[in-house]
Structure formats: structure tokens, C-alpha cells
């Protein structure tokens, strides 16, 4: 009986993480921006980039959970607007202290996401259609309640969320970093994370193995709604205003682009939140660089759209096993394969 050689123990080698590629691209964009204009890497512009990136990052984080199950959430931008207004209403019209209003708003966002998950599971309508419909509903609610008028917030403490800088770092960025760590641990170290990947890989097989697919669906859409609420709180606290149109620009576009570019598969079952976050910061950096270079805002969706197209195309080819890079195999890997082939021929 022949025994194939194992690379473990015999040829220890360093393996780059899957996120290394997108990280290199991000660093290249940052370097290119510095070369293009010295105004790009200034402290003030980096603060703007980090604050804008924090909102996109939270949306991308929630979107990643949904995409990992093979779904999509088109309503996250509208939930940002709804929660931004709800926060202002609670504090200004109902006199709720900001310390209590913040967790209530987060619950509202999570509930809105849970409604998405419930509708998807109960109606069996594709997530794209369900969240497209709820996108319109969530966008209309703040417009109807406020008459499309902004609500000024007077509770100074609320501004600490979006304006404070502990250790010189914007608080939203610190909050996002904590959320990334918790999300990464949940996906990689818990049973819930295993179930999320299993549902995205094959929902029918996951169901047959005893996994509650409806429960997983409710959970990931609730996470998406919660993350959108965090984005709404950041928007509102930065400007001390509840805007009924907050988050209804390119944020949805960017959240999907960041996740896809960061390696989260649109087909579900593969990807990581770390890669998605690097992708989100890459998208934010490209958008910021175009603003610094005074590129027309009309060009930004075109550029981001092309990035999404490239990312989706590569993901499709990779999923169909039509995309391979044999030249990336190391010399040691080739020797290992040749050694195993020789063992097979002599057995």
C-alpha cells in the first residue's frame, strides 16, 4: 500500500492570507493618490476618508453577512435614512435621552432587517425583490413622518458618536474595528458562523443536515439592519441632524462593491469580513481620491460600477472553475506534486 507524501512537516512554508491581494491593491491606490496629489494623504483628508469609510464599512459588514448566505440587501441605505430620522425624533419630539435613544435606534434597524429575513422565508420571493420593495418602504417612512424636512438635534452628547476622537482616532472608526473583530470571531469560531457559510454553500444540504435555514436568514438580515442603523447614527451625530435622505446616495452601491471586491462571493458560501472591510476602504479611498482630484461626481458611479463588474466576473469564473492561475504555484508545490506522481507510478 503506497502512502502519499504530506507537505506538512516536510516543507513548512508561509502562506499569504486570501486578503493579501486586495490589501496590496488598496496600498497601491493610496500610494498612487499620494503621487497624484499631495493633498490626498493630509491629516484632514485622511480623517474625512476614515469617517466616510466607517459608514461604508458598517454597511459593507452587514451586506457581507447577507451575501455569505447567497442573499442580498438592497434596503440598507434606506434603513440608514430611517434610523437617522428615528434617532432625531426620539430625542427632539419625545424627549428621550440620547443614551437611551441610541440602543433603541439600533433595535429599530435590527427589526427592519429581521422583517426582510421574515418576508424572504415566508414568501419564498428572491431576496433581491423583497429588499428592493422594502428599500422603497424604508425610504418613504422618514419622508412621510418629517414631510421631507430635516430635524435638528440639540442634545450635545449625541455628537460624541460621530465627532469624538479617542486617542486621536474618530470614534466611528474604533467602533467599526470592534465590530469587525466580533464579526470575524463569530463567523470563524462559532457554530452560527459555520451555519452561515453552510447555508451560503448549499441551502438544501444545510437544511438536510439539521441547520435551521430560516433562523440563519433572520439572523443575517438582522445583522445587516443593525449595521445600517450604526451608519444612520454616525450620519446623524456627525451633523447633529436627522436627514430623511441620509444614506440614499452611493452607499448601497459602495457596500456591495466593497464586499464583492473584498472577496465575498455573490453566490454565497465564501469570503471574509476582513477582506470585505479592506474592499470597503478601497472603494472609499477611490471615491475620496476622485473628489480630491476634482473629478466630476458623475464619473464615480461609472468607476465603481466597472469595479463591481470586474469583481463579479472574476467571482463567476472562479466559481465555475474556469479561472485558474497555474503560474502562481510555487516551485516547492510543483516538486511535491511530481514526488506524489512518482510514488503513484511505483505503487
Q: Alpha-carbon distance 343 to 347, whole Å? A: 6
% of the chain beyond a pLDDT of 90: 57
Q: Is the pLDDT of residue 90 over 70?
A: yes
Q: What is the model's pLDDT at position 265? A: 87
pLDDT value, residue 131: 97
Residue-range definition of the domain harbouring residue 61: 34-346
Helix axes 191-201, 213-239, angle to 10 degrees: 110
Check pLDDT > 50 for residue 7. no
Query: Does 25 map to a domain?
Result: no
Q: State what percent of residues in the chain have pLDDT above 70.
A: 86
CATH number of the domain that 240 lies in? 1.10.3470
Confirm whether 100 is domain-assigned. yes
Please check whether residue 11 lies inside any domain of the structure: no
> Per-residue confidence at 268, pLDDT binned at 50, 70, 90?
confident
Domain count, the chain: 1
pLDDT, position 301: 81
Can you give the pLDDT at residue 20? 79
Q: How many CA atoms lie within 13 A of 113 on its CB side?
A: 34
84 domain residue, yes or no: yes
117-144 confidence digits (pLDDT tens): 999 999 999 999 999 999 999 999 999 9
Q: How many residues does the chain have?
A: 347
> What is residue 318's predicted lDDT score, i.e. its pLDDT?
67
Any domain includes 110: yes
Residue with cell 451555519: 195
Kindly tell me the sign of the dihedral angle through the C-alpha atoms of 91, 94, 96, 100: negative
Per-residue pLDDT tens over the stretch 225-256: 999 999 999 999 999 999 898 887 788 888 99
Per mean pLDDT, which range of 105-109, 186-190, 307-311, 321-325 is the poorest? 321-325
Residue 28 lies in a domain: no
Residue 20 lies in a domain: no
Cα-based distances in Å from 10 to 2, 4, 301, 346: 18, 12, 50, 21
Mean pLDDT of 60-83: 95
What are the backbone dihedrals phi and psi of residue 152, each rounded to the nearest 5 degrees, phi first? -80, 135
Above 60 in pLDDT, residue 11? Answer: no
* Average model confidence (pLDDT) across the chain: 86
Q: 241 has which bridge partners? A: 152
Instruction: Give the pLDDT confidence score for residue 330 in this predicted structure.
Output: 43
- The cell numbers describing 162, all together, are 460621530
Which are the contacts of 219, defined by CB distance < 8 A and separation ≥ 6? Answer: 117, 192, 196
Asked whether residue 184 is assigned to any structural domain, the reply reads yes
Q: What mean pLDDT comes out for the span 162-180?
A: 94
Amino acid at each position: 500500500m503506497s502512502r502519499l507524501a504530506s507537505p506538512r512537516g516536510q516543507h513548512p512554508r508561509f502562506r499569504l492570507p486570501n486578503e493579501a491581494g486586495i490589501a496590496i491593491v488598496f496600498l497601491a491606490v493610496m500610494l498612487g493618490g499620494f503621487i497624484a496629489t499631495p493633498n490626498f494623504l493630509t491629516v484632514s483628508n485622511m480623517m474625512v476618508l476614515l469617517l466616510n469609510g466607517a459608514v461604508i464599512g458598517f454597511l459593507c459588514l452587514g451586506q457581507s453577512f447577507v451575501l455569505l448566505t447567497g442573499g442580498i440587501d438592497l434596503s440598507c441605505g434606506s434603513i440608514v435614512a430611517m434610523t437617522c430620522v428615528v434617532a432625531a425624533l426620539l430625542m427632539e419630539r419625545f424627549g428621550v435621552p440620547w443614551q437611551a435613544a441610541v440602543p433603541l435606534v439600533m433595535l429599530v434597524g435590527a427589526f427592519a432587517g429581521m422583517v426582510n429575513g421574515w418576508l424572504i422565508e415566508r414568501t419564498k420571493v428572491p431576496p433581491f425583490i423583497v429588499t428592493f420593495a422594502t428599500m422603497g418602504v424604508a425610504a418613504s417612512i422618514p419622508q412621510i413622518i418629517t414631510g421631507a424636512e430635516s430635524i435638528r438635534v440639540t442634545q450635545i452628547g449625541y455628537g460624541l458618536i460621530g465627532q469624538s476622537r479617542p486617542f486621536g482616532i474618530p470614534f466611528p472608526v474604533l467602533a467599526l474595528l470592534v465590530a469587525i473583530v466580533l464579526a470575524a470571531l463569530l463567523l470563524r469560531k462559532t457554530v452560527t458562523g459555520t451555519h452561515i457559510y453552510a447555508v451560503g454553500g448549499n441551502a438544501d444540504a444545510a437544511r438536510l443536515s439539521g441547520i435551521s435555514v430560516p433562523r440563519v436568514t433572520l439572523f443575517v438580515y438582522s445583522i445587516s439592519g443593525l449595521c445600517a442603523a450604526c451608519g444612520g447614527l454616525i450620519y446623524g451625530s456627525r451633523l447633529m441632524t436627522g436627514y430623511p435622505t441620509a444614506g440614499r446616495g452611493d452607499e448601497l452601491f459602495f457596500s456591495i462593491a466593497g464586499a464583492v471586491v473584498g472577496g465575498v462571493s455573490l453566490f454565497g458560501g465564501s469570503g471574509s469580513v476582513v477582506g470585505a472591510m479592506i474592499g470597503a476602504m478601497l472603494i472609499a479611498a477611490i471615491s475620496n481620491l476622485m473628489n480630491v482630484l476634482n473629478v466630476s461626481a458623475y464619473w464615480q458611479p461609472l468607476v465603481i460600477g466597472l469595479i463591481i463588474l470586474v469583481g463579479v466576473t472574476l467571482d463567476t469564473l472562479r466559481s465555475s472553475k474556469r479561472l485558474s492561475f497555474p503560474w502562481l504555484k510555487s516551485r516547492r508545490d510543483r516538486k511535491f506534486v511530481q514526488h506524489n506522481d512518482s510514488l503513484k507510478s511505483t505503487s
